[in-house]
């Protein structure tokens, strides 16, 4: 097997974990389903950690599995930034799922919970590995859909259902700004691969602003931060995964990746620092 195939190994492992949950849903107990999910994320974290020696030496993993339609390609690129965020998703995700074993042991919907949690984690791993911006956007929306379904996991609770709708409307709506930025880059360059040098040359203030809007919504930054209290109606492990490992980290990754694609003018740096400082001040004063 080519060594670059290692890049998608964590996604494949988590996909297998989802399949096990579905196939054995009538066989495993609640705790058994929890341990199966923990095992899958441990293996996914181990395969992610296996990137370290190669990436630490300055290497990258590049893999193209083919194209779909038009400009969309299943192209992956793993570097040090990808490693950092993939380890957060799988490593912290493992700890959260370990806590979930007891938390969800008696819940009749444990299969749905563990399926969504593993897709949630896999969504961020796909996001940080995608070299194709449209594939990245697909992962962005997978993460958003999982958050909606997990926040509303106890959908018979009106507070949870309302919180899920608020999360979906605010973050999904802002996500269209990311799509608009990608389409602008494609119109200018004819490619959707952020690894293509033409993308860096075409990165403008307008593209940066659109991507920053999407990142602000995902990462709970002012003024798109008001959905976060409503999301607390979710089960405790979901809240932990939202904050510590996946959802908020998706926005942080987008900003970090933008910084790696093209040099930032001083005004862009000031905008990001100001946005973060204002959000932090609001959190201190009104939390």
Q: What is the pLDDT of residues 139-186, one digit of tens each?
A: 999 999 999 999 999 999 999 999 999 999 999 999 999 999 999 999
pLDDT exceeds cutoff 90 at 232: no
Report the Cα–Cα distance between both ends of the chain, in Å, rounded.
51
CA-to-CA distance for 165 and 160, rounded, in angstroms?
9
Residues 6+ apart with CB under 8 A from 169: none
CA-to-CA distance for 112 and 153, rounded, in angstroms?
9
CA-to-CA distance for 146 and 172, rounded, in angstroms?
12
Torsion region of 242: left, alpha or beta (phi above 0 gives left; psi -120 to 50 gives alpha)? alpha
Q: Are 256 and 194 in contact (CB under 8 A)?
A: no
* Distance from chain centroid for Cα 193: 18
Distances (CA, A) of 51 to 65, 105, 135, 193: 19, 34, 21, 22
In this prediction, residue 1 carries a pLDDT of 46
Nearest alpha-carbon partner for 10 in 69, 50, 62, 52: 50
* Distance from chain centroid for Cα 164: 17
In this prediction, residue 3 carries a pLDDT of 67
Distances (CA, A) of 210 to 137, 173, 177, 285: 13, 12, 5, 28
In this prediction, residue 29 carries a pLDDT of 94
Q: Are 256 and 264 in contact (CB under 8 A)?
A: no
pLDDT exceeds cutoff 70 at 86: yes
Question: pLDDT digit string (tens) for 246-276?
Answer: 888 999 999 999 999 988 999 999 999 999 9
Reported residue count of the chain is: 287
pLDDT exceeds cutoff 70 at 287: no
In this prediction, residue 233 carries a pLDDT of 86
- What is the SS3 assignment for the chain? CCHHHHHHHHHHHHHHHHHHHHHCCCCCCHHHHHHHHHHHHHHHHHHHHCCHHHHHCCCCEEEEEEECCCCCEEEEEECHHHHHHHHHHHHHHHHHHHHHHHHCCCCCCHHHHHHHHHHHHHHHHHHHHECEHHHHHHHHHHHHHHHHHHHCCCCCCHHHHHHHHHHHHHHHHHHHHHHHHHHHHHHHHCCCECCCHHHHHCCCHHHHHHHHHHHHHHCCCCCCCCCHHHHCCCCHHHHHHHHHCCHHHHHHHHHHHHHHHCCCCHHHHHHHHHHHHHHHHHHHHHC
Which range, of 29-38, 115-124, 230-239, averages the lowest pLDDT?
Answer: 230-239
Question: pLDDT digit string (tens) for 16-52?
Answer: 999 999 999 999 999 999 999 999 999 999 999 999 9
């Amino acid at each position: 097997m080519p060594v670059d195939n290692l890049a998608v190994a964590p996604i494949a492992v988590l996909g297998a974990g989802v399949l096990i949950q579905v196939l054995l849903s009538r066989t495993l107990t609640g705790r058994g389903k929890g341990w199966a999910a923990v095992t899958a994320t441990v293996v996914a974290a181990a395969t992610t950690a296996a990137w370290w020696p190669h990436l630490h030496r300055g290497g990258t993993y590049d893999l193209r599995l083919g194209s779909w339609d038009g400009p969309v390609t299943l192209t992956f690129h793993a570097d040090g930034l990808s490693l950092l965020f993939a380890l957060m998703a799988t490593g912290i995700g493992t700890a959260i799922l370990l806590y979930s074993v007891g938390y969800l042991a008696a819940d009749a919907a444990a299969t749905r919970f563990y399926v969504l949690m593993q897709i949630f984690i896999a969504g961020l791993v796909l996001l940080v590995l995608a070299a194709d911006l449209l594939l990245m956007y697909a992962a962005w929306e997978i993460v958003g859909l999982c958050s909606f379904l997990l926040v509303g996991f106890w959908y018979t609770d009106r507070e949870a259902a309302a919180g899920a709708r608020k999360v979906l409307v605010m973050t999904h709506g802002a996500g269209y700004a990311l799509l608009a930025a990608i389409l602008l880059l494609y119109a200018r360059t004819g490619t959707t691969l952020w690894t293509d040098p033409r993308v860096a040359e075409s990165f403008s203030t307008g593209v940066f602003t659109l991507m920053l809007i999407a990142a602000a919504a995902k990462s709970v930054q002012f003024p798109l931060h008001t959905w976060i209290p409503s999301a607390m109606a979710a089960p405790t492990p979901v809240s932990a995964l939202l904050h510590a490992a996946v959802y908020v980290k998706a926005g942080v990754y987008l900003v970090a990746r933008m910084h790696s694609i093209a040099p930032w003018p001083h005004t862009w740096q000031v905008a990001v620092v100001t946005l973060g400082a204002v959000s932090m001040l609001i959190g201190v004063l009104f939390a």
